[in-house]
Structure 1
Amino acid sequence: MLRHVDSVSASIWVETGEPCTVTVEAAGRAYRSPTFTVHGHHYAIVDLVGLSQDIASYSVSLDGDQVWPLAGRPASRIRLMPAEGPRRMAFGSCRTSVPHDSAHVRTHGDDVLRAYGVSLMRAGDEDWPDLLLLLGDQVYADNPSPQMLDYIHARRNTEPQGEIADFEEYAELYRQAWTDPEIRWLLSTVPTAMIFDDHDLRDDWNTSHSWRAKMARTSWWPRRVVAGLGAYWVYQHLGNLTPAERADDPLVRELTEGGGDGGPALDAFAAKADAEPGSNRWSYTRDLGHTRLIMIDTRCARQLTPGDRRMLDPEEWAWLEEQAAAPARRLVIGSSIPFLLPEGVHGVQNWNEALCDGKWGRTAQRLSEQLRQFVDLEHWAAFRRSFEDLSRLLVRLGRPAVILSGDVHYSYLAKASAGQIHQVVCSPIRNPLSRLLRWANVLTQFGLATLVGGLLARLAGIRRPPFRWRVTKGPWFQNALATLTFPDEVEVTWYESTGDGVRPIDSVRLS
């Protein structure tokens, strides 16, 4: 997988079957790295440094035996990030990894990420993205495919039945998600940046203090959360880091220099990251010429104290303020969950949070917590203090800000009335709602909630948000992937699959 790329370097992530030395040959040079071992699995990340031009093709060898590129596929190439910034970014979220046969296409639709990869095989340079952002639910640990369930049932009959239990199963889950030939090729030649959402761990992950207390009483959850965060670190987060950041990372050094199996060290790190969110930062930023990209952890960094809930705890919020204030022509913020929901839904989530904090008494508090978890009332609106803090920060900065999100299984564009703030949602890549749930979402989130959301919020004594906003495009419920094009007038385009390629759903310039 081609991961971090800038104007002078590129990092290639590899999982191998045995310990070995991984060699990447590109432009007449060889770059090498030994593998490190975690829970019996072997990984390497090879940095190609001192680059001055794009690489037309590269190959990968393990102990001298060439294993990449795959026969019959186009060459994997590396396009360096232009110093002036990206020309195009692609993004999306929520992808189930089921087969591509007709039966699964009927139930899950076409895999738009796969279709996008096929389209790039014949696309010109002007259509290629400089970066692919995967904004959460890269895997579904709580709802595995039938093939993954077969793997689970063949190795155990213990709890949790029907869900991922440990690192070994996470490794197989990622293998199934990313080893389809078209997906492998796409991920080998388009740089990727990733952030988790709840299904990478479990539905409703860190929704509330009540949710964490309930899961802490579940016998299998401690092992699951450790495995999930550890696997996320290996398969997703490691490639988000720059070569310099990895060189300074104590866990990277321990795993790559310590010898032996680093499973216990990774487990200890993951357990601490869950128990003490301030011990680690999953959020990260990249300076991309005309654009500053900030990818926010909206799951692990939450403060869930009743009466003082925050999407980002004070330490994480201070970091975000600092990163957002750095010089940049515009901000692109990756938040797995939407910041600007339809306004009525926003009001409902404000109201629900107030009731969960006891605004209308204990009975309403208990019932509201059940409602919160049942219908996923857990977005920025359900952390009203953080929503208002971020709203005021973006208005105060006074520069264009585009927030990219997924999660909700429909796509749309929202524009704030204050400042130059846009919310762009693209979801799902492959996990569509049923027709019944689509209509239910339209009726509740764009109909009923529009009528009652503001009223409920006012009845609970909640002040109005710092600004208004409205949905100006969408919603679309089909599987989709989207792009942003730069550098002057930013344009967003949503795409759907044609089976062997993609076609636009809609396109709009962000003014």
Structure 2
Amino acid sequence: MTASLRLGPLLRHAGETTATVWVETDSPCRVTVRAEDGTRASARTFTVHGHHYAVCELSDLPPGAHLSYEVLLGDEQVWPEPGSPPSILRTLDPQAPTQLLYGSCRTPTGDTPEGVVRHGPDLLRATARRLAREPVDGNLLLLLIGDQVYADEVQEPMRAFLRETREGSGGLPEDEVVTYGEYAELYRQAWSDPQVRWLLSTVPTLMVFDDHDVRDDWNTSAAWRRDMDRLPWWQTRVTSALGAYWVYQHLGNLSPGDRAQDPLWVRVRAAEADTAQEVDAFALRAHEEPESYLWSHRHDVGGVRVLMTDSRCGRALGEGDPSGGSRSILGAAGHAWLDENLTGGFEHVVVVSGVPVLLPPAVHHLEAWNEAVCAGVWGRWPRGPGERLRQALDLEHWGAFRHSFARLSAAVGELSRGERGPAPATVLFLGGDVHFSYLARARHRDGGGSRITQLVSSPLCNQLSPGLRRTAALSASAPVRIAGRVMAFLAGVPRPPLRWRLEGRPHFGNTIGEVSFEGRRARARWYHAPVGGPDALPGVLVESPV
């Protein structure tokens, strides 16, 4: 029986002389990636829960290469498909300008009329159309920074799959995925659209999870985790989510050298049989002992350092004094990793966090106030209502983790003052999650020479309802900002070490962000898809120096 390509190819980690291609097949086989210059790499598939994958690592490629490639299963070419445009292997050129495309929160709709009405146009599809007609020179990376899949808000094709495959399986939520096989189908549906599939096959892509990749409000607080642990299906769900994330998203983030040092990869690659038991055990431990695995990853592209941080799985959720580190959005290991890598000597340092570091100030103050109340600053009785408010309003970003915010702010201040090596021109925060887009300019209260900027681009395809847009817009207004600061003051929360303001009004609607770096200059753009049918190219919504 001849194997077929079930998903991919995905072009993942790219170095100056290396490129990684990930695929899923429908049966075991040997996968070969063959570039137009004759360079090739082959790998035998590995198996997890009956699903088959391969990671092909091409090496000895020239820096700055743009090479078309083919995928073979055994001796049969299966990609590109007939009539499809060529897919391109890209390597990095340390001397070339760099562009980062970034976004989060995507619900696949296929740009159907009903999907566009509810969720808006799909900016990954629109970006594929733009790049097919307007090729980009230099270094181009796509950063998917959370909610690549919605495991808890599935669409009708996925609900139909659950109905068909769960006969006799009672007690599971009807509109949420639970098992590894269900996650595999969720990823297949998310990445099988022809335009998205081509985009992911030709632009090096780095990923990090946010809550919906596992479940809404994942790791909001210790109380949230206790509530979830009482659900009989939750252990299977979180184990499946993290195992699938490691396979579908995280493996491709790693360089060949880093992947070779990953203990789970070493075991999986060497195994002859299905590795479900090993992957499940790893995933459960990552959930129960967050310090056991580091999901964050670093990428240096010429003069740009990109730090992709895990602000979800590694959280410490203690309920003591928040200023003492009992609550931490990165956890001890995550903060140590960020401290180690947040160094000077680069023209630009980019810190990527699924949840924005700098929210509209009013929301930041509200979250800091809520954290203090939940920790007991006003006594015991307000803690319960405070926790209910935290979960109802999703008060679980950096502002709700005062220790982490202060620690990151101090490190950024040192970096911008040249205390961690030559100061970069910009320290840039990239974020998503909140379903609106904005630019915020910041400075440290103790001074510093680097520009400090927060850029948020969200969603790729999951626009807010009109009611939620009005609420979010109100959160950025001056009266609410003042009220939030007063509430934080009354709870004894000190002023944050960074001062920031939003530039202009937040944008509501689907967007994909772009940051272009050339020398010590940086420029931000947001693209949106205008009305004009499925072939309309996205246009620049906002452009601003960073």
Q: Same fold (TM over 0.5)?
A: yes
Cα deviation for residue 342 of structure 1 reads 0.9
Is residue 285–residue 295 contact of structure 1 (8 Å, CA) maintained in 2? yes
**1:230 equivalent in structure 2:** 243
Taking the aligned partners of 1:11 and 1:313, their CA distance within structure 2 comes to 29
Q: Do the aligned partners of 2:441 and 2:452 also contact (CA within 8 Å) in 1?
A: yes
The corresponding residue for 1:331 is 349
Tell me, in whole angstroms, the C-alpha distance in 1 between the residues paired with 2:404 and 2:281: 30
8 Å contact from structure 1 (residues 391, 466) kept in 2: yes
Kindly state the Cα deviation for residue 98 of structure 1 after the two structures are TM-superposed: 2.4
| Residue 185 of structure 1 pairs with residue 195 of structure 2 | no
- The code of the aligned residue for 2:507 comes to W
Distance 2:471 2:232 in 1: 35
Paired position in structure 2 for 1:502? 538
| Equivalent residue letter for 2:130 | S
> Residue 30 of structure 2 is aligned with which of 12, 21, 30?
21
Residue pair 1:85, 1:288 contacting (<8 A) in 2 also: no
What are structure 2's unaligned runs of at least 5 residues?
1-9, 321-325, 417-423
Hey, what's the Cα distance between the residues in 2 that align with 1:232 and 1:175? 13
Q: Say whether residues 1:490 and 2:500 are aligned partners.
A: no
Q: Which moved further from structure 2: 93-102 or 377-386?
A: 93-102
Superposed CA offset, 1:50-75 (max 9, x none): 00152431000101111100222211
Aligned with 1:4 (options 13, 18, 24): 13
CA distance in 2, matches of 1:142, 1:366: 26
Counterpart-to-counterpart distance in 1, 2:363 and 2:119? 26
Is the partner of 2:220 in helix, strand or coil? coil
Work out whether 1:315 is the aligned partner of 2:325. Answer: no
- Give the AA of the match of 2:17: V
- Distance, in Å, in 2 between the alignment partners of 1:390 and 1:30 is 42
Aligned to 1:378: 396
Correspondences of 1:16-165 after superposition (within 5 Å): 16-26=25-35, 27-52=37-62, 54-84=65-95, 86-126=97-137, 130-156=140-166, 157-158=169-170, 159-165=172-178
- The CA deviation string for residues 135-179 of structure 1, in whole angstroms up to 9 with x for no partner, is 000000000111101101111153122101110000000000000
Match of 1:417 among 443, 460, 471: 443
Shift of 1:360: 1.5
What is aligned with 1:244?
257
Q: 2:463 corresponds to which residue?
A: 432
Tell me the amino acid that sits aligned with residue 147 of structure 1: P
Contact 1:112 1:429 in 2 (8 A): yes
CA contact (8 A) 1:21 1:33 kept: yes
Query: Residue by residue, what CA displacement relative to the aligned partner does 1:413-460 show, whole Å, maximum 9, x if unpaired?
Result: 001133421000000000000111101211234355313100000111
Deviations along 1:290-339, one digit per CA (max 9) or x if unpaired, are 01110000001111101221112222211110111263222111100010
SS in 2 for 1:490: strand
The question of whether the paired residues in 1 share the 8 Å contact of 2:98 and 2:301 is answered with no
Q: How far is 1:288 from its partner?
A: 1.3
Kindly tell me: are residues 125 and 462 of structure 1, through their superposed partners in 2, closer, same or farther at Cα, counting changes over 3 Å? closer
CA contact (8 A) 2:526 2:542 kept: yes
Cα–Cα, structure 1 residues 315 and 30, in superposed 2: closer, same or farther, change >3 Å? closer
1:480 aligns with 2:493: no
Answer yes or no: is 1:278 the counterpart of 2:310: no
Cα gap change, 1:40 to 1:99, in 2 (>3 Å): same
State the shift of 1:497 in Å. 1.1
Letter in 1 for 2:80: P
SS in 2 for 1:12: strand
CA distance in 2, matches of 1:265, 1:43: 15
Q: Which whole-Å deviations, capped at 9, do the CAs of 1:87-141 have from their partners, x for residues lacking one?
A: 2110000001123211111111110110110111111334x76100000000000
Counterpart CA distance in 1 for 2:399 and 2:412 is: 16
1:255-270 aligned at under 5 Å gives the runs 255-270=268-283
1:203 aligns with 2:216: yes
RMSD: 1.3
Instruction: Give how far 1:85 is off.
Output: 5.8
Contact kept? 2:442, 2:500, Cα under 8 Å: yes
Whole-angstrom CA distance in 2 between matches of 1:55 and 1:457: 52
1-structure distance, mates of 2:187, 2:177: 11
Are residues 1:169 and 2:182 paired? yes
CA distance in 2, matches of 1:339, 1:87: 23
Q: Percent of pairs identical after alignment?
A: 45
Q: Which amino acid aligns with 1:141?
A: A
Question: How many Å separate the matches in 2 of 1:265 and 1:417?
Answer: 46
Q: Which runs of 5+ in 1 are unaligned?
A: none
2:300 corresponds in structure 1 to: 287
Residues 255-294 of structure 1, C-alpha deviation per residue, up to 9 Å, x if partnerless?
1112100011000000000011111000010111101110
State whether residues 428 and 453 of structure 2, in contact with CA within 8 Å, keep that contact through their aligned partners in structure 1.
Answer: yes
Q: Distance in 2 between matches of 1:29 and 1:85?
A: 23
TM-score where L is the length of structure 2: 0.91
Match of 2:365 in 1: 347
| C-alpha spacing 1:242/1:326, structure 2 compared with 1 (3 Å) | farther
Contact 2:147 2:213 in 1 (8 A): yes
Question: CA contact under 8 A between 2:151 and 2:212: conserved in structure 1?
Answer: yes
Supply the AA of the counterpart residue of 1:94: C
What TM-score do the two structures reach when normalised by structure 1? 0.97
Contact (CA 8 Å) 2:19, 2:90: kept in 1 or not?
A: no
The number of residues matched between the two structures is 509
Q: What amino acid maps onto 2:387 in structure 1?
A: E
Residue number in structure 2 paired with 1:401: 427
Please give the alpha-carbon distance, in whole angstroms, between the structure 2 residues aligned to 1:376 and 1:169: 26
Say which is worse superposed, 55-64 or 380-389, in terms of deviation: 55-64
Q: Any conservation in 2 of the 1:86–1:288 contact (CA below 8 Å)?
A: no
In 2, Cα distance between equivalents of 1:178 and 1:427:
18
Amino acid at match of 2:386: S
Q: Following the alignment from structure 2 to structure 1, what is the Cα–Cα distance between the partners of residues 84 and 477?
A: 44
8 Å contact kept, 2:362–2:475: no
Question: Letter of the aligned partner of 1:16 in structure 2?
Answer: T
SS of equivalent to 2:219: coil
* 1:380-412 superposed Cα distances (whole Å, 9 cap, x missing partner): 000011101111110111132101000000000
Q: How far does residue 226 in structure 1 lie from its aligned partner after superposition?
A: 0.2
